[in-house]
Structures are given as C-alpha cells and as structure tokens.
Chain A
Amino acid sequence: MTETRLQPSETAQPPAMGRGASFIPAIWDRATGIAGRRGFIVLFLVIGVLLPLIDHNEGDIDAGANALAFAILALGLNIVVGFAGLLDLGYAAFFAIGAYAYGIFSSYQVQPEWWGFWEPFQWLGLVQHIQAADGPGTVHFTVSFWLMLPISAIITAFFGVMFGAPTLRLKGDYLAIVTLGFGEIVPIVARNVPYLTNGAAGLNGVASPTLFGYSFGVKSLPFYYLGLALAALLIFVSLRLKNSRVGRAWLAIREDEIAAEAMGVNRVKLKLLAFAIGAGFAGTTGTFYVAKLQTAAPEMFTFPVSVMLIVMIVLGGMGSVAGVVLGALILQLLQSVILQDMTQWIHAFGDLTGIEFFKQLDLVQSIELIFGIILVVMMRFRRQGLIPERAAVTALTHAQQTAVPSRSGVKSGLTPLHRRTIDPSKPLLEIRGLSKSFGGIRAVRGLDLDVMPGSVVGIIGPNGSGKTTFFNLITGLTQPDGGKVMLAGEDVTGLLPHVIVERGIARTFQNLRLFANMTLLENVLVGTHTRTKTGAIGAVLRTPRVRREEDAANERVLETLRIFGNRLMPRIQHLARTLSYANRRRLEIARALVSEPVLILLDEPTAGMNPTETLELTDQIQHLRDRGVTVLMIEHKLAVVNQIADKVIVLDHGEKIAEGTPKEVHSNKEVLRAYLGRSTDAVAEAAAAS
C-alpha cells in the first residue's frame, strides 16, 4: 500500500483553520479531554473543601474566599461572553449593584422616618423600628443576607435587561461600548449619591450573615465555604445550561446570529436571557462579597475588575467551564502568590549583585500590564484558551473515511418529517405581488407564485436575478416592500424569521451558514429549537419531562441524519467546520429538516458537489417529498432541476419571466434571451436560414 495513513495525532486535533497557531503542545489537549476536565473540576472542588483542614492560616483562607468571589464572577461572565458571545465590559457594575443592594438593606446608611407603612415589614423582620425620644423614630433595614442573595440577583438582572435591551438588536460591538459606559457610570453614581451609598468614603457597618443563630462575623472560614458552595453551584448551572436547548441556542447565536434566527431561535429573547442570568450571578456575588468585607466603596468596582474577569475567561477558554475555573485559579495565584514570591527573589538578586534596578522592581504592580499581554497573546495564538470549549475528538479511521456511501436510510422508515395535515387541493405557498428594492435596484418586482403541497418547484435564473432575495423575503430575513406571502392560507408576510420557522418554513443558505464551532449533532439539535420547550430553569433542573424532550430530539436528529446514510452518522461528534463541503451542504439540509417544516427552501443544494454526490442528493431531495415535505429550490444545475422539479420558474431582473414544466421552460424564448443574451433570436434565425 502506497497511500499514507493519517496519523491520529494529526487528525484528532481540530485543524488550525479559524484559530491562531498554538504554542501549547498537543499532549495538553489530550490530557484535557472530557474525562480530564471533569477530573479537574472535581479535583478543584475536593482541594477546595480540604484546603482549610491543611492550611490553618487565617490570611490564606481569607484570600481564598476573595479569590472564590472572583472565580464565581468569571463563571457568571462566561455565560454572557463565552456561551452567548456577548462582550460585556462592565460586569463589575452588576457586581457593584448587588453589593450596594445588600449594603443598603442591611446597614444604618438609609434611615427613613418611621410610620405605619413599615409595620408589616417589621413583622416580617425586614426592618427594625428605632425609637426616638421625640418624634416617630426611624427605620433600620435588617434584610437577611440569605434573602438578599436572590433579591440582588433579581435587581441586577433587571438592570442587565434595561441596559442590554437597547443594544441587542444591533451589532455586538454596541453592547461592548454600552456596558463599558455602564461600568464607568455605576461607580460615579455611587460616588454622587452619598445619601444611599455614603459616597467615596464607602458604605460601612454592613451586617454580617447569620445562619441558625451562628454569626459569620469577621471570620473567613464560613465565607470561604459559602464561596465554594456558590462556585460549585455556578459550575453546575453552567454545565447544565450549556448542554441544553438554551445553551445550544446561545452557542448558535454566538456562531452565527442570522443562521440561528433562521433556525427558529429568538435571538433577542435569548440574548437578554444570557445577559440577565450573567448580571444576576454578579449581583449575588456582590452581596456575598460586601457581606464578607462589610464595606462597599466605589473603587472596588471599576473597569480593571471587569478586565480581570475577561482575562480569566480568555486565558482559561471562552465558553469552557473547566477552563474558566483554571483561568481564575491561575490569575489569583499569580496575583497573590507567584508575583510576590518572584519579586522577593528579584530583590534578593538585586541585593546580591547590587544592581539598583532589581532592588526596586515590583512585579505585583505590573499585574495589569500582564493582563494586557495575556489578552493579546491568547487572542493571537490560542484563541480557544488553555482548556478549549471542545474536547478533541477521535478522528475517523481510514476505513470509515473511505467507506462506500450507503443510502439505506432513504429507503427505510418513510415516516413523515412533520406532523401537520395539509390540504392537498390548495396551494401550500401563495405569493402575491412580492417586491423589494435596495436603493435604486429592484431586486424582486411583483412576484406571484403558487406552490402545491407535495411538489418540488425549481427556481432558475441568471446570477443577480433576485433568487436569494426572494428566499430572504419568504423567510423574513429581509422585509418586503410590498406583496403577500401565505403559508397554508395563513399570512406570514414580514414575520420575524424565527416565527416563520415555527409556522413551518425552513431553509438552507447558498453560502453555508453552519455553526462552525459546534458539533454536527449540536448543529442539527439547534434545528429542533422551535419544536422543543425547555427553558433555563428546566435545563438546570433537568426534570424528567426535559429529559424526555431531549431524548426525543436526539432521536429525531439521528433519524434525520440517517437520510444521508453513512455520510454524516459517523461524524456526529465532529465540529461542523471540520466537514467537507458536500457534507456541510447535507448538514444544512438536515438542520432545516428537524424543524419539522412543511416547506423547505433549498438555496443551491448541490453547489460544489461532484456529479456522483449531486445524483445522490437529487435522489434524497426526491425522497423528502415522499415524506411530506414540499420543496422550493434554487438550482443552477439544470440536470437536477429537470429530473426532480414538477414546476420551474425563471427569474430575471427580479421578475418571473417564465413558469411551467422544465420542458416548457427550456423552449421559452424569454428564458433563452435571459441566459444567452439578446442576440439569440438572430442566432436562431441564422441557424434556420442556413
């Protein structure tokens, strides 16, 4: 045998495409496989629990508790930045709001005058009545720490939604700048409203939590364990969310917002959800932190805090829970141990050699410079972080890669792909006078079309004739200027893309919009979004109903993937970006099919496929009809159109110039003119004359 086999080490690694070259050896990636990262998290928690038993130094435990607060913040921010891909540069502001919320509601800072209104609150133990010799006395807030943990989360989530909402419809960059501004003004406001916050001097006398009569006081140990419990909770929540319907929708938004929306994900709602959850966790952590320090000052919550959290995430790996824990751990050790020790060594070296520079050098001060360098270097050379979000997968064996394509799935199991009953006598899709102009260009003008259920309709036309715009108008990615789109008698004109998917129209894209850094299985699971219900709470609790839904979705996905035989099935754990071009096209079709569409729009499904693959796909498209799906497809390969289309329409300059069976269309003069130019008549006449 002369052919060279691919070495596992070459293929097990995701290709460098789309990421910077790595300076970390491949052995590390193998050590941090799925088992490796689980082991790391368990080890982290076990050592965390045992540490106070080994280390009795109060200062170390105190530093540990503070470090845990920042690790929790990093985990919360990871939901926003890592999962949903929303760059939040003012996360410290939410931390501050949670801190001040508890600070105000548990100290003597705000003391309104006492009157009847407060009595029920006194009865609930939320306030105390401070008697005064003259007058009605004042109110002292005594809201319990344990109650404030969730309340802070709600308050900060509210702020998150309020400031996130204006930007979430815009490009992601705007969120970065608005959160940066928000991060800057929250400390300013804290400074400017001394009535509430005691201004720059800081809020004092924050009550220490008590639990069953045991007061935490200024002891570090209870806070340390509470912090560890919160960290464990957040790790659990993050992992549960990530592997759920909600988490997949976030990743999809992060990878490609437009495609996510076209697959039925309500992106505004899900982005707000991520933003609110992230902000909520910051609020809870703020409450924890301020209860521990028993003071809150504006300087504790400025921009450098937000940057440090971003650095933890970037270093560890965006979207990777184990990575973020590692990143937080490294940075905290760097700050409080490594740099201090190194500075001492350097000073000792300076004393030894008598060089003034080394005597003076203080590495701890350069921590922020190191942060900057970490950000730049990681983004340039190791964008996926120390522990990438995805564990490396085993490559296919040579035999699997070169196996003969099987198409058994097509023939077997002719279950319908959707559960709707369609009246076969009425058109499924009716389009009337659909128009769209871009500036002076009229991309689609007054288009009419009827598509009968169970048919395959082909759309052909020269490049730039408005075919893809036509698809965008039907699926809501572009808003029409005029006209109507009716699906099974219901008006769907101008609805949002995700609503249109829910109504039963799915699509693929001409230039492939897969979620590149998600596995093949996850890509298709995103397609089930509109047919499943699990929300954030369900995903965390993973109730039996959620489990059943997840299992059913998985089953449905596998069944759909079987349409393509062994083309996709062996690769379901691979990332979409590692697929071949033809497999990407197949994956897009599968992803659209699991949304249970009654009508599927295929935009050049066979583009880039070789003749064998084209034939195979043609066959498969024909079978979609047998399984109850109506097909509207743009296709340049006339052989494909001729073979499977019941009807062909021809677009030119945004107008329908011909409609009929493939045969009728081929002999249409207008069509020849559009394709071959105005001189065809002359050519035809010349041919007739000779």
Chain B
Amino acid sequence: MESWEILLQQVINGLSLGAMYALLALGFTMVYGIIELINFAHFNIFMVGSFIAMWLMQLMGFTGQSHILYGLPLVGVLVLVLCVTMLSTGVLGALIERYGLRALRGVSGTAPMITTIGLSYILFNVILLTTGADTKNYSNPMPNIRWEIGDAVLRLREVMLWGVSIVLMVTLHYFVRRTKMGKAMQATAQDQEAARMVGVDVDRVVVITFFIGSALAGAAGVIFGLYYNYTSFIIGYTAGLRAFTAAVLGGIGNIPGAMLGGVLIGLIESLGGQYIAVRWTDVIIFSILVLVLVFRPTGLLGRAAPTKS
C-alpha cells in the first residue's frame, strides 16, 4: 500500500469511528447541557443497545453468516433493528432518569454523579451475569460490497454508517432548532427557573432529553455491532470515555460541538493507531482530554466557561 492509500484508509476508518463517537457524545452533551450532570450510565446504555440489536437480529432468524440481504429487505431489516433498539434504549434512559435520577435533581455535590455510576455498574453487571463474559458474534446481514480506491477499501457498511449518523444528526438539529420541544430544551439549558416560569414543563424536557440521548446511544450501539461484527459487556467503558472526551473537545453542552468532537476523536484514534501504536490510543485520547481542559476548557465550539459551581 502506498502511503496515501494508508492515509485514505485510516481516514475512512476514522470517520466511521467518529460517526459512532459523535452519536454517543450527543447524549452526554445534551444531558450535561440541561442538568449539568455527567451521566455515567450513558456508557452502558450504549452497550445494552448493541446487545438489544443483536438479540433482535437473532429473533429475526439471523444466525451465522448465511443470511446476506440485498436491496429493500436489507434496508427494511436495518431500519427496523435501528428503530426498535433506539426506542428500547430511549425508554431505558427515560426510566433511569425518572426513577433513578429525578429524586436527586438539584442535590448539590457528588450524589447525582455517584448514582449514575451505580446505575452504570448495574447495567454492566446485569448483562455480564445474564449473558456471560465471552465476546458475542454479530450475525451481520450486510453484503460485503466494497469499492476500491487504489488499495484503500470503502465498504458498504461504512457508507451505511455515515448515512445513518448524518440522518440522525440532521434530524436532531432540526428538532432542537425548530420544534417547540427543542426550543423548550434550549430554554431549560439556559435557565431552568426562567423556563419553568414561562410554562416549560422542565421534568418533561429532562426526561425527553434522556430519551433522545439514550436513543442515539442505542443507534451507536447498533453501529458498533454492525461495524465490528461483535459485541461484549465491556465495550461501554472505553467507547464512553472516548465519546465523553469528544463532547469536551467540542465544548460540553454544545450539540454541533459533540458532532465535531466525535469525528475528530475518531480520526485521532485511527490515525494515531496507524502512525503511533494502537496500544497507546487511550493514552493519546486521555492526553487530549487533559490538554483541552488546561488550554481551552470551553472546547472548540463552546461559549460559556464551565466554571460555575
């Protein structure tokens, strides 16, 4: 492979990872934007999402490698899996907010964050104890269609992944900017009390924010499974930390920032893995997190400094 082909290949890989991280980062950033809480449960909602998608495909009879679909049936299956998974993780996120976190809203100090860690740990261990510690193979219905650019390869699954992410992000952007609920979200993020006073049902806004963020994490879970062809109870931790770094890099609380940060982290991971070493990826990403916090705590696109306490 020529060096430009290697670079191109890694950019393709990086954009794919980046699309996944961006979807995951959106959940962090939306929740943080509204109630200033780092939701550690988000890590494992993503993981549960990838399991739900796997179970769905097993239910539909996809086992092993024999079931390759083309055309409309493929699109139909993917859309169905995506929608049901997103709905499930969305409901899971909403339940977590309603029954796990609402009682602690407005409590100062570390209590709400510790609760999300506890919830995350529960999700993690329920999946571990019920499904076992082994890595689960995905039965992937995606045909192995590929386009070759020199020696670099662009596969159908990457195109699909980008497509899904772009559609979801554009929809989210439209939702937040144009709809009444989206405006209520923006208002709540700016000033919860003021929003309440002009008639915004803040509880509802928060629960819907959790729903949307968790649904996007579910989509990221589906993408993870289809992209890597496996899932495991352990995937939430690493991916979650990277996605959180993406959210901070873009400016926490900032929706376009999370998308940008996600793509950048994806590229850094793939290019860093190529030109430095895969085993140092986490160290590189952690260094970025620390550097951003030192030199630009507002992130690339953030506005207000997060010093409020």
Contact = CB atoms under 8 A, between A and B. Distances in A.
A393 to B, nearest CB: 22
Given A20-B103, A171-B308, A368 B117 contact: no
B241 A181 contact: yes
Interface in A187-221: 188-189, 191-192
B110 A375 contact: no
Given A170-B297, A376-B122, A379-B115, A180 B241 contact: yes
Interface stretch (A121-129, A161-169, A580-588, A662-670): A161-169
A interface bracket (residues with beta carbon within 8 Å of B): 35 or more
B232 to A, nearest CB: 15
B264 to A, nearest CB: 17
B293 A166 contact: yes
Given A172-B110, A192-B283, A366-B129, 13 more contacts: A166-B294, A170-B306, A170-B307, A174-B306, A185-B282, A192-B280, A303-B237, A307-B117, A366-B125, A368-B121, A369-B121, A372-B124, A380-B103
Contact of A372 (B110, B119, B279, B283): B119
Interface string B110-133: 111111011111101110110000
A87 interface: yes
A163 B289 CA distance: 11
B286 A184 contact: yes
B108 to A, nearest CB: 8
Interface of A: 18, 20, 81, 85, 87, 89, 163, 166-167, 169-174, 176-178, 180-182, 184-185, 188-189, 191-192, 254, 257-258, 303, 307, 310, 314, 318, 365-366, 368-369, 371-376, 379-380, 383
5 contacts: A85-B109, A87-B113, A171-B36, A185-B282, A257-B309
A373 B118 contact: yes
Contacts of A374: 118
A184 B241 contact: yes
A373 B115 CA distance: 9
B83 interface: no
Contact of A176 (B38, B237, B289, B308): B38
Contacts of B124: 368, 372
Given A170-B306, A257-B309, A383 B111 contact: yes
A180 to B, nearest CB: 7
Interface string B268-309: 000000000001101101100110011001000000001111
Given A87-B110, A181-B241, A188-B279, A376 B286 contact: no
Contacts of B293: 166-167, 170, 174, 178
Contact of B115 (A167, A172, A380): A380
Contact of A254 (B109, B113, B286): B109
A368 B125 contact: yes
A517 B71 CA distance: 64
B129 A365 contact: yes
Nearest to B245: A181
A453 to B, nearest CB: 35
B182 interface: no
Contacts of A307: 117, 121
B286 A182 contact: yes
B114 A314 contact: yes
B283 A185 contact: yes
A465 to B, nearest CB: 19
A284 B309 CA distance: 32
Contact of A375 (B115, B126, B306): B115
Contacts of B110: 81, 85, 87, 172, 176, 318
Interface string B184-219: 000000000000000000000000000000000000
Interface in B67-125: 100, 103-104, 107, 109-115, 117-122, 124-125
A171 B309 contact: yes
A178 B245 CA distance: 9
A379 B118 contact: yes
Contacts of A89: 117
A372 B122 contact: yes
Nearest to B120: A372
